Structure 1
Amino acid sequence: MTGDNRRSVDITVRDDGRSATRPSRPRAPTAADAPEAWDEACIVPNASTSLLCNVGSGSAPGTAPDDVVALAVEARSRLTIPLPRPTVRPLVRFADGTTGGLTGAPAWLWTDPAHWQPSGTPLTREVRAGAVTAVVSAAPVRLTWRPGDGSRVVCRTPGTPLEDPRRGPAGSPDCGHTYRRTSADRPGGEYRASVAITWAVTWAGSDGSGGALAPLVVTTTLAYPVREGRAQLVGP
């Protein structure tokens, strides 16, 4: 629990929601439930369950009892949010055996789409204290990619995999970036990129109340060397 809502009661946590007093399912989370202004304040380091953000102003209906809201916050704190698993392509093999990207060549980024709406499956968690129950639903709604060169790319989808290399030069249709400078002057000769995924969280209580809680943001980093591509004239 958080704040002054701690009580001496038994709490039951369920992942499958199979309970006689189970409330209605929360509505599907959307980007509107996770304003971008929350992103920096709600980061969950290394997928930890310790939250760095509170319930947003107006996130729960004013008529919802404090104990239902407190249970919803408790359920959110028990969500296990997976770390992002981003992939960047293309990967060009350099003369020294390492792989990376080229300046001027569009880079494609994508991640696991399993929980993204509309076809993905949101994560859910249920908490019950006595006769009061709350269920939360969480789904990724935004990917923020900082390629490491000072730029920032916001993607509203998990990105499109580069399955056909011939499509690479056209650039990703929904999550891409083009490096204009090499990473030669960076530590290790590579860009340290970060990928943050924002998860919106909605909830429903056994008394019919519900709403949205502050989002969760989980971040990971990756290395991506970028070198200059040069044309080489070869004999016939």
Structure 2
Amino acid sequence: MTSARTVLRWSAALTAASLLWSGGTAYAAGPEDNTTQPPADQPTGTTDGKGTLKASVSHIQIKYVSGGNGHGKQGNLGTVDPNWKPPACWYEPAFSPAALKDFVDSDGGGDVGIHEAWFGKELWTDHYKDGKPADNFDMNSPTNSSADGYKDYNLGKNGYFWRGVAPDAQDPDSWDCGRIMFWVPAGQIPNDPHTPTPKTLAEYAYNKVKVPETEVELKPEAKSTVNLPTWVWLDKGTFQEVKVRASLPNTGLWAETTAKPVSLHLEPGTDDATTYPASGDCKINDDGSIGTPYTKGSAEKTPPCGITYLHATDGAPYRLKASITWQITWQGSDGTNGNLPDGTFDTTQDMNVQEIQSVNR
């Protein structure tokens, strides 16, 4: 007979408080990601293929509607707002009644809540088969609230057991979703502050947006000349709108998050330089290009987007940083829409600067 064991999960900041409550073994949760689609009628919690239920793994599906096709080097956006972050936790469907019974019968174990795991069939059958109450794990309450038990996994009923998900269980805000897995009839969503909404999905998708690296065209290409402009540009089509769709199976909820490039910002890598425009912000043209390509005879003209270095490099090149700002908007399945903080992605390029006067050709 398999012994039953409750395991509590907590971040380092909350370990001392949690130790007052548990004689179980503690371990810290790390961030994980899984955007594969479960079967539409039988969502499964055995996301690691070994019968273990993980609160860090979401069933949210991610699809690139446009852009983000994997060509060339890409990376995730960083936000310009240091105070913004995506939701720390939410609830989502995990099991149908039949899928939960199969999971328990296979001696599956894992996270019944974000910070509580059950290993051993008895813990699961007591609550979800035999109707015995169990405690939620309410870190922000003086005492844990009690959850009513279920009879025979609710077999014959139409609906799903919902469970908390936290991409990073080390985040203190993940303790806000303290309920253990609970029942919701089909076609309904829970009446809970942490029920997912289209905006939740839009914010989740923000971190999934992939954009191309920002390697700009230069003239001269690798070696500039003191007091002569270096022209900077990007051809049209290099940076295009990226649209990511996030949907949550068995809820009807979805959102599309769109990242649109709006400007290029240049940082020469030294204070001894002049940028064009003076702000270093080059707007994206109507055709999607940035700046103007250098043409023969333009060496001494002022470029619409570029840099003039005032001193030569001495052994080590300047590190030219080029950052694209992306405007982020979203729209959801219920007609809601809005803006999210702008995102940025930057790359650096070596710039050698010579003293001699020469004309770009």
Q: Tell me the CA shift for residue 146 of structure 1.
A: 0.7
1:89 maps onto 2:219 in alignment: yes
Specify which of 284, 291, 296 is matched with residue 159 of structure 1. 291
Contact 1:79 1:125 (C-alpha < 8 Å) held by counterparts: yes
User: What residue is the counterpart of 1:94 in the other structure?
Assistant: none
Partners of 2:57 and 2:353 lie apart in 1 by 56
Contact 2:215 2:349 (C-alpha < 8 Å) held by counterparts: no
User: What residue is the counterpart of 1:183 in the other structure?
Assistant: 313
Other structure's SS at 1:16 match: strand
Q: 1:69 to 1:149 in 2, by over 3 A?
A: same
What letter corresponds to residue 14 of structure 1 in structure 2? K
Partners of 1:71 and 1:78 lie apart in 2 by 11
Other structure's SS at 2:203 match: helix
Identical amino acids, percent of aligned pairs: 25
1:226 maps onto 2:275 in alignment: no
What letter corresponds to residue 82 of structure 1 in structure 2? P
User: What residue is the counterpart of 2:237 in the other structure?
Assistant: 114
User: What residue is the counterpart of 1:39 in the other structure?
Assistant: none
Other structure's SS at 2:212 match: coil
Contact 1:84 1:112 (C-alpha < 8 Å) held by counterparts: no
1:54 maps onto 2:175 in alignment: no
User: What residue is the counterpart of 2:64 in the other structure?
Assistant: 15
Task: Identify unmatched segments of 5+ residues in structure 1.
Answer: 18-45, 57-64, 92-98, 232-236
User: What residue is the counterpart of 1:171 in the other structure?
Assistant: 302
Specify which of 338, 341, 344 is matched with residue 214 of structure 1. 341
Q: 1:112 to 1:70 in 2, by over 3 A?
A: farther
Other structure's SS at 1:214 match: strand
What letter corresponds to residue 75 of structure 2 in structure 1? A
Q: Which has the higher contact order (CA 8 A, sep 6+)?
A: 1
What letter corresponds to residue 220 of structure 1 in structure 2? T
1:124-163 mapped onto 2 (5 Å cutoff)? 124-129=243-248, 130-150=251-271, 153-157=280-284, 158-162=290-294
Q: 1:125 to 1:181 in 2, by over 3 A?
A: same
Q: 1:213 to 1:226 in 2, by over 3 A?
A: same
Partners of 1:221 and 1:8 lie apart in 2 by 34
What letter corresponds to residue 298 of structure 2 in structure 1? R
TM-score, length-scaled by structure 1: 0.64
Q: Which runs of 4+ in 1 moved over 4 A?
A: 6-9, 49-53
Contact 2:266 2:321 (C-alpha < 8 Å) held by counterparts: yes
Task: Identify unmatched segments of 5+ residues in structure 2.
Answer: 1-30, 32-54, 67-73, 87-194, 285-289
Q: Tell me the CA shift for residue 7 of structure 1.
A: 10
1:104 maps onto 2:104 in alignment: no
Q: Residues 90-146 of structure 1, C-alpha deviation per residue, up to 9 Å, x if partnerless?
A: 24xxxxxxx511111111112353265xxxx41101011121110011111121111
Partners of 2:252 and 2:228 lie apart in 1 by 59
Q: Tell me the CA shift for residue 189 of structure 1.
A: 3.6
Contact 1:89 1:107 (C-alpha < 8 Å) held by counterparts: yes
What letter corresponds to residue 70 of structure 1 in structure 2? T
Partners of 1:190 and 1:123 lie apart in 2 by 33
TM-score, length-scaled by structure 2: 0.43
Q: Tell me the CA shift for residue 155 of structure 1.
A: 1.2
Contact 1:90 1:168 (C-alpha < 8 Å) held by counterparts: no
